[in-house]
Structure 1
Amino acid sequence: MSAGTKTAKVSVWRQPAQVWAVAFACVIAFMGIGLVDPILPAIAASLQATPVETEMLFTSYLVVTGVAMLFTSWISSRIGTKATLLIGLGLIVVFALLCALSGSVDAIIGFRAGWGLGNALFISTALATIVGAASGGSSAAIILYEAALGLGIAIGPLVGGILGEVSWRGPFFGVVALMAIGFIAVLVLVRSAGEKRTPVPLSAPFRALRQPALAVLATAALFYNIGFFVLLAFSPFPLGFGAMGIGLTFFGWGVALAITSVWIAPILLRTMKRSTAMLIVLPLLAIDLIVAALVVGSAPALVACIIAGGLLLGLMNTILTESVMEATDLPRSVASSSYSAVRFLGGAAAPPIAAALWHAFNASVPFYFAAVSVLISAAVILFGRRALRRIDVHEADATEEAAAVLVGDAA
Structure 2
Amino acid sequence: MTTSSLPSLREAEDLDRSDELALFRERFLPIEDADVVAYLDGNSLGRPLRRTLELLRDLVTEQWATRLIRGWQDGWLEQPERLGDALGAVALGAAKGQVVLADSTTVCLYKALSAAAALRPDRTELVTDTDNFPTDRYVVEAMAQDLGLTVRWIASDPVAGVTAEQVAAEVGTETAVVTLSHVAYRSAFIADMARINSLVHEAGGLTVWDLCHSAGSIPVRLDADGTDFAVGCTYKFLNAGPGAPAFLFARTEHHERLRQPIPGWMSAGDRFAMAPAFTPAPGIRRMLSGTPAITGLAGVAAGVELLEEAGIERVRAKSLALTRMAITLCDAWLVPLGFGVSSPREDERRAGHVTLSHPRAEELAELLISKGVIIDFRAPDGIRLGLSPLSTSFSELWSALDRTRTLTREALS
Query: Normalising TM by the smaller chain, what interval?
Result: under 0.3
Bigger share in strand: 2
Give 1 or 2 for the bigger CA radius of gyration: 2
Alignment TM-score, normalising by the size of structure 1: 0.23
Alignment TM-score, normalising by the size of structure 2: 0.23
Higher relative contact order (CA 8 A, sep 6+): 1
